[in-house]
């Protein structure tokens, strides 16, 4: 199957959906390949309190549903699928999913970032059996249980606070003696009666793969070098994210952590290929900055297409003035 | 459910419909509060149609059947377990795409 497109957007978080909204309003009839799982990290959150315009907050999945409907309203075509291969060596660029192959003149990459794991063999075996990266998905299984949350950033504090709804005790294991989380999240977590902290500690192992279920973790104090076992029923890993750029290695300039390098807006090292959202943002990583960069990518892509020979003439200018 | 090929498993029929079944059985552990489960739903539905007669496909609501989820140490959903001759032969945790699940099933057929 071969289809030729003006703009393909890959990824369906706030960056991709905003890029779709703007491209659709520019009459480019964008095709958005949503990825698996769809919707990005907001799908795994509960109340989002820092999305401007919602004074009392909005649920993450609801925000994504709304953005999606808004993008579709102006003619974005959203398809289910996971990209398996990009070929950016020449135009038109090629994007392949498991069951379709597309060609496109412009490409917007908003594949986001996935939860980073500890990298322990026991973690792999026990994933879904006590190891989790999503408190809102899996917290339910830990009613009156003891839980460890690994990490010291906003996500870790959010997970810890959310899990207190279910757990009898939440222990935050953090490798430093100071949290990286925002002040408001730190204050909430530090003040919570059922959250305790293991400072300067790293997780060495998760028990017990032989039983097929989490029974505890081994943590090592980085200062005293002493290891001890904590008895817990669940481990929630919130130690940051890794950009989803495996398929782009060698095709686009990436930084040393794998983030796509952008310059002068959303442009990447390949002309006609744009990036937005967490896949190119090691610094801010907010829903609103992702959406903002999605808008930039769409405008940059539109201008790029306008400058190409045989560009679909005049598309979009009338529509844009309405926005 | 979108497909009438998809069965509903409960604690009452689990033994006969899954453990003692003659064909491999794919069980989708889910709950209605679970967003990722909803995303996986249509994929599981289409597997039921594609593998009709070769793999029995069904869903088990963990809210209504916590004892079954507990028996298999399910502590995260969606989780898919593939049973063959009463034993778990494969596990997929989280949302996965259809092509990957088909590969997994084909490996066991």
pLDDT at residue A302 tops 70: yes
Is B34 designated active site?
Answer: yes
Q: Which residues contact A240 (CB under 8 A, 6 or more apart)?
A: A115, A116, A151, A153, A155
- The predicted complex's ipTM stands at 0.83
- A98 with B99: Cβ contact below 8 A: yes
Let me know if residue B2 belongs to a domain: no
Let me know if residue B16 belongs to a domain: yes
Q: Look up residue B15 and give its DSSP letter.
A: I
Q: Cα separation of A125 and A208, whole Å?
A: 9
Q: Cα separation of A142 and A235, whole Å?
A: 10
Q: Which residues contact A197 (CB under 8 A, 6 or more apart)?
A: A171, A172, A174, A190
Give yes or no for A129 touching B (CB within 8 A). yes
Give yes or no for A16 touching B (CB within 8 A). no
Mutate to test the interface with B, among A12, A13, A35, A36 (most CBs of B within 10 A): A36
The Cα-based distances of A28 to A20, A197, A217, B75, B76 in angstroms read: 9, 51, 52, 44, 40
Measure in Å the smallest separation between the Cα of B93 and chain A Cα atoms.
6
Q: Cα separation of B49 and A299, whole Å?
A: 42
How many domains are there within chain B?
1
Which residue of chain A is at minimal alpha-carbon distance from B33? A137
Instruction: Assess contact for A16 and A114: CB atoms under 8 A.
Output: no
Which domain does B21 fall in, by range?
Answer: 7-107
The lowest-confidence range among A35-49, A223-237, A304-318 is A304-318
- The stretch A188-205 carries a mean pLDDT of 97
Give yes or no for A213 touching B (CB within 8 A). yes
Instruction: Assess contact for A117 and A133: CB atoms under 8 A.
Output: yes
Let me know if residue B64 belongs to a domain: yes
Give A-chain residues touching B34 at CB under 8 angstroms.
137
Q: Look up residue A42 and give its DSSP letter.
A: G
Give A-chain residues touching B46 at CB under 8 angstroms.
none
- Out of B31, B77, B96, the one facing A36 most closely (by C-beta) is B96
Let me know if residue B1 belongs to a domain: no
Q: Which domains does chain A have, with CATH numbers?
A: 2-115+241-322 (3.50.50.60), 121-237 (3.50.50.60)
> Is the full-model pTM beyond 0.90?
no
A residues 70-109 lying closer than 8 A (beta carbon) to B: 80-82, 98-99
Q: What is the pLDDT of residues A116-163, one digit of tens each?
A: 999 999 999 999 999 999 898 899 999 999 999 999 999 899 999 999
Give yes or no for A234 touching B (CB within 8 A). yes
Indicate the helix (H) or strand (E) that contains A71.
Answer: helix A60-73
Give yes or no for B61 touching A (CB within 8 A). no
Q: Cα separation of A196 and A103, whole Å?
A: 53
Residue B98 exposure: Cα atoms within 13 Å on the Cβ side: 17
Measure in Å the smallest separation between the Cα of A107 and chain B Cα atoms.
22
- A130 with B73: Cβ contact below 8 A: yes
Provide the residue-wise pLDDT of chain B in tens; the chain has 109 residues.
456 899 999 999 999 999 999 999 999 999 988 888 988 999 999 999 999 999 999 999 999 999 999 999 999 999 999 999 999 999 999 999 999 999 999 999 9
Which residues in chain A belong to E strands, given as ranges? 2-10, 31-33, 47-48, 58-59, 77-79, 83-87, 93-97, 101-109, 113-115, 131-132, 146-150, 169-173, 195-198, 201-207, 216-221, 227-230, 234-237, 241-243, 273-275
Give yes or no for B87 touching A (CB within 8 A). no
Mutate to test the interface with B, among A10, A33, A37 (most CBs of B within 10 A): A37
pLDDT at residue A75 tops 90: yes
Residue A312 exposure: Cα atoms within 13 Å on the Cβ side: 15
Q: Cα separation of B19 and B60, whole Å?
A: 14
Is A295 designated active site?
Answer: no
Please tell me which residue in A87, A99, A137, A177 is annotated as part of the active site.
A137
Q: Cα separation of A292 and A172, whole Å?
A: 33
Q: Grade residue A308 by pLDDT with cuts at 50, 70 and 90.
A: confident
- The stretch A311-319 carries a mean pLDDT of 43
Let me know if residue B102 belongs to a domain: yes
Cis peptide before A92 (omega within 30 of 0): yes
Q: Cα separation of A252 and A270, whole Å?
A: 6
Give A-chain residues touching B95 at CB under 8 angstroms.
36-37
pLDDT at residue A321 tops 80: no
Give yes or no for A178 touching B (CB within 8 A). no
pLDDT at residue A319 tops 50: no
Q: Look up residue B17 and give its DSSP letter.
A: I
Q: What is the pLDDT of residues A83-126, one digit of tens each?
A: 999 999 999 999 999 889 999 999 999 999 999 999 999 999 99
Counts of helices then strands in chain B (DSSP H, E): 4, 5
Indicate the helix (H) or strand (E) that contains A189.
Answer: helix A183-191
Give A-chain residues touching B94 at CB under 8 angstroms.
37, 128
Q: Is the dihedral of CA A61, A296, A245, A174 positive or negative?
A: negative
Q: Domain with B78 in it: what CATH number? A: 3.40.30.10
């Amino acid at each position: 199957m071969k289809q030729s497109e003006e703009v393909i957007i890959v990824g369906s978080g706030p960056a991709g959906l905003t890029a779709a909204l703007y491209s659709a309003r520019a009459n480019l009839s964008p095709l958005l390949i949503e990825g698996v799982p769809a919707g990005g990290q907001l799908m795994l959150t509960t109340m989002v309190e820092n999305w401007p315009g919602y004074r009392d907050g909005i649920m993450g999945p609801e925000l994504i549903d709304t953005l999606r409907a808004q993008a579709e309203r102006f003619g974005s075509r959203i398809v289910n699928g996971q990209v398996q291969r990009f070929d950016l060596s020449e135009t038109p660029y090629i994007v392949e999913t498991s069951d379709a192959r597309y060609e496109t003149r412009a490409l917007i990459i908003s594949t986001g970032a996935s939860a980073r794991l500890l990298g322990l063999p026991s973690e792999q075996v026990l994933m879904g059996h006590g190891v989790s990266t999503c408190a809102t998905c899996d917290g339910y299984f830990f009613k009156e249980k003891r839980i460890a949350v690994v990490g010291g950033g906003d996500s870790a504090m959010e997970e810890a606070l959310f899990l207190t709804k279910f757990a009898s005790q939440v222990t935050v294991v953090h490798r430093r003696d100071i949290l990286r989380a925002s002040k408001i999240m730190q204050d909430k977590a530090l003040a919570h009666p059922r959250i305790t902290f293991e400072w300067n500690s790293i997780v060495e192992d998760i028990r017990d793969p032989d039983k097929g279920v989490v029974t505890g973790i081994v943590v090592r104090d980085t200062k005293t070098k002493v290891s001890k076992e904590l008895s817990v029923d669940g481990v929630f890993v919130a130690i940051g994210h890794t950009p989803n750029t495996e398929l782009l290695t060698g095709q686009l300039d990436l930084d040393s952590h794998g983030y796509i390098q952008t310059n002068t807006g959303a442009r990447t090292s390949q002309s006609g290929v744009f990036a937005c959202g967490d896949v190119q943002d090691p610094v801010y990583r907010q829903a609103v900055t992702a959406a903002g960069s999605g808008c930039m990518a769409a405008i940059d892509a539109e201008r790029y297409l306008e400058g190409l020979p045989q560009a679909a003439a005049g598309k979009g200018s009338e529509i844009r003035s309405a926005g | 459910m979108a497909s009438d090929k998809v069965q509903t498993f409960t604690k009452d029929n689990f033994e006969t419909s899954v453990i003692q079944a003659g064909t491999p059985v794919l069980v989708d552990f889910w709950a209605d509060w679970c967003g990722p489960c909803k995303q996986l739903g249509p994929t599981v539905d289409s597997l039921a149609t594609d593998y009709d007669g070769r793999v029995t496909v069904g869903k088990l609501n963990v809210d209504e059947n916590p004892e079954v989820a507990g028996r298999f140490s399910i502590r995260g959903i969606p989780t898919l377990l593939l049973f063959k001759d009463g034993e778990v032969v494969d596990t997929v945790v989280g949302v996965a795409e259809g092509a990957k699940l088909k590969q997994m099933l084909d490996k066991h057929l």
